[in-house]
């Protein structure tokens, strides 16, 4: 190897040390002299496997943008931290006895080293770790705030629980109950997803097809006492404020679907001989005349009261079976609907018809009232059920399509679209939307129903029966009261345990530590600590706020700093967090907004998702397939700059794309060429071609075109095309025997966000003594970009016949003349008169004959 060759290992180490020693990327709080810009990465879970090549993709994109913004004069906040609570470290602890904190520390150290080796411009002084008591103190604090708040329905916002209006005349116990029932963090006995293998409860989102997302173990339904967060109160705002954020439409859509708003009516069905009614929710009140039976969820308490003696045995049996079914079974059996008749009847409020009441597990307890009216003619599920069990079908909506209408009328087709009302008494002939409105009013006037809105979104199941999570700052008194710790007692530190194993009965590991669980209060009363811990999502709900003020011991974050930095201007991460993390943190943010702790409605202004990187075989990377690419190896063999450049050159940021090691060599060769273009490899000094000289026109034009293209592409995250433009530039300049220094310098600056190490090194070789991180981004000159002469394509009837070169100033007539003058064109015209000549300046001429 020659003395002055591109020695990326040395160069990269040198500049990483330089940046660290000089705190080059330290963000300045509240600096009013510059506009701020907050670039955030989704922080990683520090796993034992370390970084995979998917991580650096998003991190490189955000780093390029952060560096670009600095050069554009912004005060940039670009932090990194660790989402370090979670199952793997705990599983490892169960197996090996190693404290999760120790595993975590080791993994964090190794992943930090890996991330640092890529030369990202993070302000490392702001590093956070969710498992640090100094951090989770404030996670617990937010939880306490939720525990001590309620949701004011009229104002649609959270308020301190002390302000909750309490009805008069309640006993002390009832008063307490009333308050507890309104807390945003509350306890409930709920059927949960219990995973015996993991020994914990999982959130709905963590169960995939009846199996646990992690590990793929079976999950069953089981009622347990759990902590819940009332995210449903925020459903409407979570939906509405999506309009405010600059996110990919597909991600917004996923959230909208997850929230699942539907508008319809609640309708009351009386049960003869009973003094209570069955309420149902429907989005199709216009089909009420077609309701031929009702279905209740098997779990509904009401079922007991409705079931007649002769049907009791069958009903009880069915209910028992339904309760035993796991979600997987329920999904599997969804193909064939089952159910039993209760013996009870209800009265259809619109026509007084007596209709039978059934139970079936196709009706969900957790949505609406857990009861439905069944309109088999116009609901596919009811249609299937009615056919299965031979129940009557009455068509009440006539489709426009004649053929369809005939089938619907015969009861052979289930039609769920809009149409005209039939068999609906005085409402016959109305269109579906008209009917909906009229019948809703009709019901409301008679006190039989009301307009209603329902959401699919459920309250967030917030407790886990695990060790490695934030302990709840909650005490349980002997009389059943639930007390929040006072803020001064935070953090409630996770205690040491003998065994990390869950008890298997649902009791978390913390329950085994008697002297931690049992607490005597100053007044002598004895209480027990909550032994559940929070889910991994908790710490990531607000970490972007902690970066603003990571060392503050008195507050989670300073409000002046919050005002300055928030919102996050750019958030880059994987699309797999589209609903979970992004919905949860928006919820927490809105809650904090209500209480005045943050100044913006939404935390993340712009969101960009990086796509997945596949293995070289085009398959998802996995250990078992043996196609995992180790970033350490890539950095060792080709350097961090090559790695960064390749990850961006592969294709559009959001796309899924396969890795190709030869592609890495390709960009590496580009850097080599760039190096030799500037440095004489024999001496290590500047090449003789680098001179203080005037620039030829073509080079100057290409330089300015490149500055423009790279800048524009940076703004739109089109890093792949920015890199190809830089390659075009280097290909051109390498051929020049004189390479003006001023041209080289400008080029180094625009390359620097992509390949910062080599850029800094060359910048220094060019005689600069300061880092280029804060040099201003080169400007381009519009005039210099313009070509003097333009090649146009000449078509005859859309087929290319010739090319002509015209002056950039030529007007349409001149271009026409020149085009018609072409010999090839004359030949193609074969003497015919052109009907029309279309001239698109700087593009083409099309002669139509």
Question: Which residues, 6 or more positions from 806, have their beta carbon under 8 angstroms from its beta carbon?
Answer: 789, 790, 792, 814, 815, 818
Binding residues among 361-400 for RNA as defined by CB under 7 A: 361-364, 366-368, 370, 372, 379, 381
Question: Which residues, 6 or more positions from 634, have their beta carbon under 8 angstroms from its beta carbon?
Answer: 53, 642, 643, 646, 664
Residue nearer to RNA on the CB measure, 456 or 768? 456
Query: What's the Cα-to-Cα distance from 315 to each of 321, 361, 834, rounded to whole Å?
Result: 10, 12, 85
Instruction: Measure CA of the first residue to CA of the last residue in the chain; give whole Å.
Output: 65
- CA dist 615 and 117 (Å) reads 22
Binding residues among 425-484 for RNA as defined by CB under 7 A: 454, 456
Binding residues among 704-723 for RNA as defined by CB under 7 A: 718, 720-721, 723
Residue nearer to RNA on the CB measure, 545 or 845? 845
Crossing angle of helices 580-594 and 133-147, in 10° steps, is: 70
Which listed residue (211, 303, 667, 749) binds RNA by CB under 7 A?
A: 667
- Angle at alpha carbon of residue 495, lines to 490 and 498, rounded to 5°: 170
- CA dist 464 and 472 (Å) reads 10
Which listed residue (36, 67, 126, 337) binds RNA by CB under 7 A?
A: 337
Least Å distance, CB 283 to RNA, is 4
Question: Which residues, 6 or more positions from 823, have their beta carbon under 8 angstroms from its beta carbon?
Answer: 802
CA–centroid distance for 306 within its chain: 44
Least Å distance, CB 572 to RNA, is 17
Residue nearer to RNA on the CB measure, 559 or 627? 627
Least Å distance, CB 657 to RNA, is 4
The owner of tokens 């015969």 is 410
Least Å distance, CB 206 to RNA, is 10
The owner of tokens 């450049």 is 645
Residue nearer to RNA on the CB measure, 264 or 631? 264
* Cβ contact 804:791 at 8 Å: yes
Least Å distance, CB 705 to RNA, is 11
Structure token digits, residue 612: 């997945």
Binding residues among 248-267 for RNA as defined by CB under 7 A: 249-250, 253-254, 257-258, 260, 262, 264
Pick from 336, 264, 338, 266: which is nearest to 298 by CA?
338
The interface region with RNA, picked from 246-254, 420-428, 432-440, 551-559 by CB under 7 A, is 246-254
DSSP annotation of 549 = S
Residue nearer to RNA on the CB measure, 125 or 576? 576
Least Å distance, CB 472 to RNA, is 27
- Other CB atoms closer than 10 Å to residue 616's CB: what's the count? 14
- CA dist 746 and 749 (Å) reads 5
Q: Does 785 bind RNA (CB under 7 A)?
A: no
Binding residues among 798-827 for RNA as defined by CB under 7 A: 798-801, 803
- Angle at alpha carbon of residue 600, lines to 458 and 235, rounded to 5°: 15
- CA dist 619 and 597 (Å) reads 45
Q: Does 666 bind RNA (CB under 7 A)?
A: yes
Least Å distance, CB 391 to RNA, is 15
* Cβ contact 320:289 at 8 Å: no
Pick from 767, 790, 799, 801: which is nearest to 840 by CA?
790
Q: Does 279 bind RNA (CB under 7 A)?
A: no
Q: Does 334 bind RNA (CB under 7 A)?
A: yes
Residue 220, CA atoms < 13 Å, CB-side half-sphere: 11
Residue nearer to RNA on the CB measure, 324 or 555? 324
The owner of tokens 């053929």 is 403
- CA dist 206 and 199 (Å) reads 14
Residue nearer to RNA on the CB measure, 144 or 621? 621
- Angle at alpha carbon of residue 142, lines to 138 and 145, rounded to 5°: 135
Residue 420, CA atoms < 13 Å, CB-side half-sphere: 9
Structure token digits, residue 430: 């109305």
Pick from 681, 686, 655, 649: which is nearest to 668 by CA?
649
The interface region with RNA, picked from 38-46, 119-127, 691-699, 836-844 by CB under 7 A, is 836-844
Least Å distance, CB 83 to RNA, is 19
Structure token digits, residue 49: 């496997």
Query: Which phi and psi (to 5°) does residue 608 adopt?
Result: -130, 130
Binding-site size for RNA (CB under 7 A) equals: 84
Residue nearer to RNA on the CB measure, 105 or 732? 732
Pick from 238, 149, 232, 223: which is nearest to 459 by CA?
232
Q: Does 409 bind RNA (CB under 7 A)?
A: no
Residue nearer to RNA on the CB measure, 253 or 317? 253
Binding residues among 560-599 for RNA as defined by CB under 7 A: 575-576, 579
Binding residues among 115-154 for RNA as defined by CB under 7 A: none
Judging by DSSP bridges, how do beta strands 518-520 and 526-529 pair with one another? Answer: antiparallel
Residue nearer to RNA on the CB measure, 175 or 669? 669
Pick from 446, 458, 75: which is nearest to 270 by CA?
446
Q: Does 843 bind RNA (CB under 7 A)?
A: yes
Q: Give me the numbers of helices (H) and strands (E) for the chain, helices first please.
A: 29, 35
Q: Does 682 bind RNA (CB under 7 A)?
A: no
Quick one: which H or E segment has residue 704? Answer: helix 697-715
Residue nearer to RNA on the CB measure, 470 or 687? 687
Least Å distance, CB 656 to RNA, is 6
* Cβ contact 470:140 at 8 Å: yes
Least Å distance, CB 351 to RNA, is 18
Which listed residue (64, 84, 203, 297) binds RNA by CB under 7 A?
A: 297
Q: Does 781 bind RNA (CB under 7 A)?
A: no
* Cβ contact 791:815 at 8 Å: no
Residue nearer to RNA on the CB measure, 548 or 702? 702
Residue nearer to RNA on the CB measure, 441 or 672? 672
Residue nearer to RNA on the CB measure, 808 or 848? 848
Q: Does 495 bind RNA (CB under 7 A)?
A: no
Least Å distance, CB 550 to RNA, is 32
Query: What's the Cα-to-Cα distance from 830 to each of 796, 834, 846, rounded to whole Å?
Result: 11, 11, 16
Least Å distance, CB 185 to RNA, is 22
Binding residues among 720-779 for RNA as defined by CB under 7 A: 720-721, 723-724, 727-728, 731, 734-735
Q: What mask, x for binding RNA by CB under 7 A, covers residues 626 to 665? A: -----------------------xxxx--xxxx-x-xx-x
Least Å distance, CB 579 to RNA, is 7
Which listed residue (234, 670, 675, 717) binds RNA by CB under 7 A?
A: 670
Which listed residue (246, 321, 489, 791) binds RNA by CB under 7 A?
A: 791
Binding residues among 186-215 for RNA as defined by CB under 7 A: 204-205, 208-209
Least Å distance, CB 355 to RNA, is 15
Least Å distance, CB 690 to RNA, is 17
Binding residues among 61-120 for RNA as defined by CB under 7 A: none
Q: Does 836 bind RNA (CB under 7 A)?
A: yes
Q: Does 672 bind RNA (CB under 7 A)?
A: yes
- CA dist 389 and 383 (Å) reads 10
Judging by DSSP bridges, how do beta strands 354-359 and 293-296 pair with one another? Answer: parallel
The interface region with RNA, picked from 232-240, 406-414, 508-516, 789-797 by CB under 7 A, is 789-797
Least Å distance, CB 752 to RNA, is 18
Residue nearer to RNA on the CB measure, 204 or 807? 204
């Amino acid at each position: 190897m020659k003395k002055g060759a591109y020695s990326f290992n040395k160069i990269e180490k040198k500049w990483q040390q330089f940046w660290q020693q000089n705190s080059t990327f330290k963000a300045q709080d509240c600096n009013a002299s510059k506009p701020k810009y907050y670039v955030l990465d989704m922080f990683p879970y520090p796993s034992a496997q370390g970084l995979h090549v998917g991580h650096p993709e998003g991190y490189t994109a955000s780093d390029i943008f952060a560096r670009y913004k600095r050069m554009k004069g912004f005060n940039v906040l670009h932090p990194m931290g660790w989402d370090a609570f979670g199952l793997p470290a705990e599983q490892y602890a169960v197996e090996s006895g190693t404290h999760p904190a120790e595993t975590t520390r080791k993994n964090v150290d190794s992943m930090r080293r890996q991330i640092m080796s890529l030369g990202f411009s993070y302000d490392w002084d702001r590093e956070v770790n969710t498992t640090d008591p100094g951090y989770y103190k404030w996670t617990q604090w937010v939880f306490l705030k939720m525990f001590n708040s309620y949701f004011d329905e009229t104002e649609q916002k959270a308020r301190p629980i002390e302000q909750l209006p309490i009805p008069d005349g309640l006993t002390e116990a009832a008063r307490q109950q009333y308050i507890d029932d309104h807390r945003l963090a509350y306890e409930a006995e709920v059927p949960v997803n219990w995973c015996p293998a993991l020994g914990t409860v999982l959130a709905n989102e963590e169960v995939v097809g009846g199996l646990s997302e992690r590990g793929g173990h079976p999950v069953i339904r089981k009622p347990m006492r759990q902590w819940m967060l009332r995210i449903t109160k925020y459903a409407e705002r979570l939906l509405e404020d999506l309009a405010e954020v600059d996110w990919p439409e597909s991600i917004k859509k996923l959230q909208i679907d997850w929230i699942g708003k539907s508008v319809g009516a609640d309708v009351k069905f009386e049960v003869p001989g009973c003094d209570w009614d069955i309420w149902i929710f429907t989005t199709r009140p216009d089909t009420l005349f077609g309701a031929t039976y009702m279905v209740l969820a098997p779990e509904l308490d009401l079922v007991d009261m409705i079931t007649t003696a002769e049907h009791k045995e069958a009903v009880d049996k069915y209910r028992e079976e339904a309760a035993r079914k796991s979600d997987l079974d329920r999904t599997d059996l969804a193909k064939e609907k089952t159910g039993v008749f209760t013996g009870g009847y209800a009265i259809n409020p619109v026509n007084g018809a007596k209709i039978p009441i059934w139970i079936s597990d196709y009706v969900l307890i957790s949505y609406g009232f857990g009861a439905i009216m069944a309109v088999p003619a116009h609901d596919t599920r009811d249609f299937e059920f009615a056919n299965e069990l031979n129940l009557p079908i009455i068509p009440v909506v006539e489709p426009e399509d004649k053929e369809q209408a005939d089938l619907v009328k015969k009861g052979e087709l289930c039609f769920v679209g809009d149409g005209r009302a039939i068999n609906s008494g005085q409402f016959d002939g109305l269109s579906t939307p008209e009917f909906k409105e009229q019948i809703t009013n009709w019901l409301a006037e008679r006190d039989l129903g009301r307009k209603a809105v329902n959401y699919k979104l459920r309250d967030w199941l917030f407790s886990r029966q695990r060790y490695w999570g934030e302990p709840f700052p909650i005490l349980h008194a002997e009389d059943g009261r639930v007390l929040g710790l006072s803020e001064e007692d935070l953090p409630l530190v996770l205690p040491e345990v003998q065994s990390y194993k869950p008890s298997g009965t649902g009791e978390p590991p913390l329950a085994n530590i008697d002297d931690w669980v049992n607490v005597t209060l100053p007044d002598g009363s004895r209480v027990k600590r909550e032994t559940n811990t929070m889910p991994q999502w908790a710490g990531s709900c607000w970490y972007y706020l902690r970066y603003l003020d990571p060392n503050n011991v008195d507050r989670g974050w300073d409000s002046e700093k919050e005002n300055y930095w928030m919102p996050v201007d750019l958030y880059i991460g994987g699309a797999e967090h589209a609903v979970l993390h992004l919905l949860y943190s928006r919820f927490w943010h809105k809650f904090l907004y209500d209480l005045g702790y943050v100044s913006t409605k939404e935390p993340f202004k712009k969101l960009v998702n990086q796509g997945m990187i596949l293995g070289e075989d085009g398959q998802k990377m996995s250990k078992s397939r043996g196609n995992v690419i180790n970033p350490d190896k890539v950095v060792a063999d080709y350097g961090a700059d090559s790695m960064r450049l390749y990850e961006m050159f592969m294709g559009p940021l959001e796309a899924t794309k396969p890795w190709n090691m030869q592609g890495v060599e390709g960009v590496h060769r580009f850097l080599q060429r760039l190096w030799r273009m500037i440095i004489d490899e024999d001496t290590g000094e500047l090449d003789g071609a680098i001179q203080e000289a005037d620039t030829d026109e073509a080079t100057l034009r290409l330089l300015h075109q490149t500055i423009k293209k790279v800048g524009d592409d940076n703004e739109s995250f089109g890093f792949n095309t920015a890199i190809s433009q830089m390659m075009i530039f280097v290909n051109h300049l390498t051929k020049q025997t004189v390479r003006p220094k001023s041209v080289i310098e400008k080029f180094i600056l625009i390359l620097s966000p992509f390949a910062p190490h080599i850029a800094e090194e060359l910048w220094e070789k060019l005689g600069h003594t300061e880092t280029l991180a804060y040099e201003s981004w080169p400007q381009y000159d519009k005039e210099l970009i313009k070509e003097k002469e333009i090649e146009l394509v000449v078509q005859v009837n859309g087929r290319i016949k010739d090319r002509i070169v015209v002056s950039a100033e030529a007007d349409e007539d001149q271009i026409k003349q020149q085009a018609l003058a072409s010999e090839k064109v004359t030949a193609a015209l074969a003497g015919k008169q052109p009907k029309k000549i279309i001239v698109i300046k700087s593009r083409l001429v099309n002669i139509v004959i």
